[in-house]
Chains A and B, each alone.
Chain A
Amino acid sequence: MTAIPSFFTQSSPPGLTGIKAWLLTHDHKRLGLMYLYAVLFWFVVAMVIGLLIRTELMSQGRTIMGPGMYNSLFTLHGVIMIFLFVIPAIPAIFGNFFLPIQLGTDDVFFPRLNLFSWYLFMFGGIFALVALFTGDGFPDTGWTFYVPFSVQSSSNVGLTVSAAFILGMSSMLTGLNFVTTFHRMRDKRMGLMQIPLFTWSLYATAWVQILATPVISITFVLVVMERLLSIGLFDPARGGDPILYQHLFWMYSHPAVYIMILPGMGVVSEIIPVFSRKSIFGYKAIVWSSMGIAIAGSLVWAHHMYTSGMSDVSVFVFSLLTFLVAIPSAVKVFSWVATMYKGSIEMTPPLLLSLIFIYLFSVGGLTGLVLGAVGTDIHVHDTHFVVAHFHFVMFGGTGFAFLAALHYWWPKMFGIMYPFRPAYIGAVLTAVGFLFHYVPMLILGLQGMPRRYYDYLPQYETGNFLAGFGGYLLCIGLVVMFVNLLASLRHRVAAPADPWGATTLEWRVPSPPPVHNFVDKPEIMDFPYDFRQVGDNSASQRS
């Protein structure tokens, strides 16, 4: 096996060397890594910004920045985290890298389009940077760009929504590529119910990306047009309706929440059975719940708008639909827990991170029901409760799934193992910091502290201080995890092809994989999570 050169040394298309081998590559694995570097860069930037915001809020009045700066920073934090981290993180990095391998093929269907998507992603990021340093500064509208403020604000809204437009295009083309790959490139012997769950979740995600993204594109086009031509499409004085903007915005942006969480669920569905040495419980139920979430999740957008003055009938219908989405999500959580029942559980960093995911995601989901119910939502609408809720889902959910994926597939992507102990310490620190950070926000929200406010009343000071303290703990934990992974690149401990005793196809190829992924035609198992063949290759051969 060692004689086969890996994709790091062999380029695709062949003959490219040096930086060209990366910038002109058609190889889905190299593109996955290029996304990894770009996404990690943005994650660190947005994390620092988030920490600055919470530091500002740790004490009453001005702490480290003025109100204008604060408004721009929370907008920047939202825009970067959503469009440049959470949406692309798992599909663009791990999806690109592993979807073709899990399907038993050598690349995505449109390799050049894949490269183009990466350039769109980089281009969108650069646009956002330009918006930051030119004109009247970064928008202070919040990432939702609600009219009329986004049309009237003198800040650089036009450039920023153009950046988001380009990033949306990139995400949509990736989705298009995945759907086509799923149908046309899959090994002919692999039936629909033999596909690994991570790939299934990416497939469901890809459909949402294709069907929902154009709506946000047109919404952003309209914002730009309003700013350039002041047509008045959302101006009530001139016959327009600002609520329609909110509808258009959430028609994409709520399904986008499922673009963010579904791949994370897919990652956890891979990791839990591997480290329980037990076939996943309810494989078909998980597949169908992915598709169910994708469909039902597209029909709930107006639950962001209960207080906007919509009709009571719509409020009722959207509340009902929102509760329905909880069902497929709960099916998954129960399946993961049931998989571990009577399994032969082996603790590793990816499993620990997945367990944290299940816990935090459940809290996020349940607080989501508090917001989905109209009566309670009116009380906590636009408070810190909402902030805490979606961070539980986006960070506690997708963020931890991303970290779990990073620790799970790191040996495969780079061909090296990392020490477990610092990873455990980092994971625990992050989780504890997370709870200290967001639980006070849940309480602050219930007490009535609004979101996005620069200052607050004296009774909220303790909660905000605690949240800031938790924020620092959280960041230290993340730094420990990242430093541990980066250090493993220097003190290289070679990883075997299958360090975890996993069964899906990416573990049947060398680590790191060769440029065409498979040396011989892969053997397709009747069921991807059949652990009977996996011996006890215990932790001793790992670190």
Chain B
Amino acid sequence: MHRESDQVGIKIGMWLFLYSEIILFGGLFVLYAAYFFEHPQSFVAGGKELNRIIGALNTIVLLVSSFTVAASITAIRRDDAKRAQRLLLFSLLCGVVFLVNKYFEWGAKIDHGIYPNSETLVNGEPGLNIFFGLYYVITGLHGLHVIIGMALLAVSLFFIRSGRVSGSRYAMLDNAGLYWHLVDLIWIFVFPLFYLVL
């Protein structure tokens, strides 16, 4: 039996996978909610120590990259492989910028002695320890997802170049794009929870 490729089915599978990713982070957000309820003061104090400018910059970078990924999907649907590749390359660049920013942010915190199991946190306010513990776990896991998303985009880019993704067959790019939007979406929640606490 020959089976025609079913784009809707592939999309359904991808969406189910995205649900599971959301629930993965959902578990962490449950932790955040419970601990925010227990230590509201410390969470506010912790939030003030994070660099809002870098955080906001990263939000903009991710939003722009989400746009360019969507634009590259539109480009491939119009059979404009060249433009699709350029847009994907730009999105990958945005991902790199995000990670570099994150590196400087984490680096600065670690320089100030704020990292898991550090002297400052262990002997300090328990609420702050939890706040920064969650900060490292959630942004770390999110960073990992950024890297996975970039890998997927890079594979799609490679596939466009080799002709395996084209105007008539672009499920791979479509799904990589969906994944990238998810990474973006999670950051949209992470940003206010940590950087803009009250």
Q: Is B12 part of the binding interface, using a Cβ–Cβ cutoff of 8 Å?
A: yes
CA distance A248 to B23 in the complex (A): 12
- With both beta carbons as reference points, the residue of chain B lying nearest to A239 in the complex is identified as B126
Residue-by-residue, is B129-143 near A (CB-CB < 8 Å gives 1, otherwise 0)?
110011011000100
Residue-by-residue, is B12-25 near A (CB-CB < 8 Å gives 1, otherwise 0)?
11001101110111
- Please choose the segment from A156-164, A172-180, A323-331 that sits at the chain B interface, where 4 or more of its residues have CB less than 8 A away: A172-180
Q: How far is the CB of A229 from chain B (nearest CB, A)?
A: 4
| B27 partner, pick from A109, A214, A232, beta carbons under 8 A | A214
Q: Is the CB of B129 within 8 A of A225?
A: no
Report chain B residues within 8 Å CB of A248: 27, 30-31
Q: How far is the CB of B36 from chain A (nearest CB, A)?
A: 12
Take A109-B13, A233-B137 as given contacts and tell me if A241 and B129 are in contact as well, using a CB distance cutoff of 8 Å: no
Report chain B residues within 8 Å CB of A218: 24-25, 27-28
Q: Is A391 part of the binding interface, using a Cβ–Cβ cutoff of 8 Å?
A: no
Q: Is A106 part of the binding interface, using a Cβ–Cβ cutoff of 8 Å?
A: yes
Q: Is B145 part of the binding interface, using a Cβ–Cβ cutoff of 8 Å?
A: no
Q: Is B107 part of the binding interface, using a Cβ–Cβ cutoff of 8 Å?
A: no
Q: Is A231 part of the binding interface, using a Cβ–Cβ cutoff of 8 Å?
A: yes
Q: How far is the CB of A249 from chain B (nearest CB, A)?
A: 10
Take A232-B133, A233-B134 as given contacts and tell me if A516 and B16 are in contact as well, using a CB distance cutoff of 8 Å: no
CA distance A237 to B130 in the complex (A): 11
Q: Is A217 part of the binding interface, using a Cβ–Cβ cutoff of 8 Å?
A: yes
Q: How far is the CB of B166 from chain A (nearest CB, A)?
A: 21
| B133 partner, pick from A231, A251, A516, beta carbons under 8 A | A231
Report chain A residues within 8 Å CB of B38: 239, 241
Q: Is the CB of B137 within 8 A of A231?
A: yes
Q: Is A410 part of the binding interface, using a Cβ–Cβ cutoff of 8 Å?
A: no
Count residues of B near A (Cβ-Cβ below 8 Å): 40
Q: Is the CB of B122 within 8 A of A231?
A: no
| A180 partner, pick from B9, B30, B141, beta carbons under 8 A | B9
Q: Is the CB of A213 within 8 A of B20?
A: yes
Report chain A residues within 8 Å CB of B1: 106, 516
Report chain B residues within 8 Å CB of A189: none
Take A109-B13, A231-B137 as given contacts and tell me if A211 and B127 are in contact as well, using a CB distance cutoff of 8 Å: no
Q: Is B116 part of the binding interface, using a Cβ–Cβ cutoff of 8 Å?
A: yes
Q: Is A492 part of the binding interface, using a Cβ–Cβ cutoff of 8 Å?
A: no
| B6 partner, pick from A172, A177, A184, A232, beta carbons under 8 A | A184
Q: Is A230 part of the binding interface, using a Cβ–Cβ cutoff of 8 Å?
A: yes
Count residues of A near B (Cβ-Cβ below 8 Å): 39
CA distance A241 to B133 in the complex (A): 13
Q: How far is the CB of A346 from chain B (nearest CB, A)?
A: 35
Take A241-B34, A248-B27 as given contacts and tell me if A184 and B16 are in contact as well, using a CB distance cutoff of 8 Å: no
Q: Is A221 part of the binding interface, using a Cβ–Cβ cutoff of 8 Å?
A: yes
Q: Is the CB of B20 within 8 A of A222?
A: no
Report chain A residues within 8 Å CB of B3: 106
Report chain B residues within 8 Å CB of A113: 13
Q: Is A66 part of the binding interface, using a Cβ–Cβ cutoff of 8 Å?
A: no
Residue-by-residue, is B158-188 near A (CB-CB < 8 Å gives 1, otherwise 0)?
0000000000000000000000000000000
Q: Is the CB of A241 within 8 A of B35?
A: yes
Residue-by-residue, is A207-236 near B (CB-CB < 8 Å gives 1, otherwise 0)?
000111111011101100100011111000
Q: Is the CB of B137 within 8 A of A239?
A: no
Q: Is B117 part of the binding interface, using a Cβ–Cβ cutoff of 8 Å?
A: yes
Q: Is the CB of A240 within 8 A of B20?
A: no
Q: Is B39 part of the binding interface, using a Cβ–Cβ cutoff of 8 Å?
A: yes
Q: Is the CB of B27 within 8 A of A183?
A: no
Q: Is B26 part of the binding interface, using a Cβ–Cβ cutoff of 8 Å?
A: yes
| B130 partner, pick from A177, A211, A213, A238, beta carbons under 8 A | A238
Q: Is B8 part of the binding interface, using a Cβ–Cβ cutoff of 8 Å?
A: yes
Q: Is A110 part of the binding interface, using a Cβ–Cβ cutoff of 8 Å?
A: yes
Q: Is the CB of B133 within 8 A of A233?
A: yes
- With both beta carbons as reference points, the residue of chain B lying nearest to A184 in the complex is identified as B9
Q: Is the CB of B13 within 8 A of A176?
A: yes
CA distance A214 to B128 in the complex (A): 27
Instruction: Determine which residue in B3, B122, B133, B137 has the highest number of CB atoms from chain A within 10 A of its CB, and name it.
Output: B133
Q: Is the CB of B34 within 8 A of A183?
A: no
Q: Is the CB of B13 within 8 A of A233?
A: no
Q: How far is the CB of A190 from chain B (nearest CB, A)?
A: 16
Report chain B residues within 8 Å CB of A215: 23-24, 26-27
- With both beta carbons as reference points, the residue of chain B lying nearest to A180 in the complex is identified as B13
CA distance A233 to B39 in the complex (A): 13
Q: Is A244 part of the binding interface, using a Cβ–Cβ cutoff of 8 Å?
A: yes
Report chain B residues within 8 Å CB of A177: 13
Report chain B residues within 8 Å CB of A251: 27
Of residues 447 to 481 in A, which have CB atoms within 8 Å of B's CB atoms?
none
Q: Is the CB of A221 within 8 A of B141?
A: yes
Take A109-B13, A230-B116, A241-B35 as given contacts and tell me if A214 and B133 are in contact as well, using a CB distance cutoff of 8 Å: no
Q: Is the CB of B141 within 8 A of A229?
A: no
Other A-B pairs, 19, CB within 8 Å; known A212-B23, A232-B117, A233-B137: A106-B1, A106-B3, A176-B13, A176-B16, A180-B9, A183-B9, A183-B12, A185-B9, A210-B20, A214-B23, A218-B25, A218-B27, A229-B117, A233-B130, A237-B126, A238-B121, A239-B38, A239-B39, A239-B42
- List of 9 A-B pairs having minimum Cβ-Cβ separation, nearest first: A239-B126, A184-B9, A218-B27, A231-B133, A214-B24, A229-B116, A239-B130, A214-B23, A231-B116
Binding site for A on B (CB under 8 A): 1, 3, 6, 8-9, 12-13, 16-17, 19-21, 23-28, 30-31, 34-35, 38-39, 42, 116-117, 121-122, 125-130, 133-134, 136-137, 141
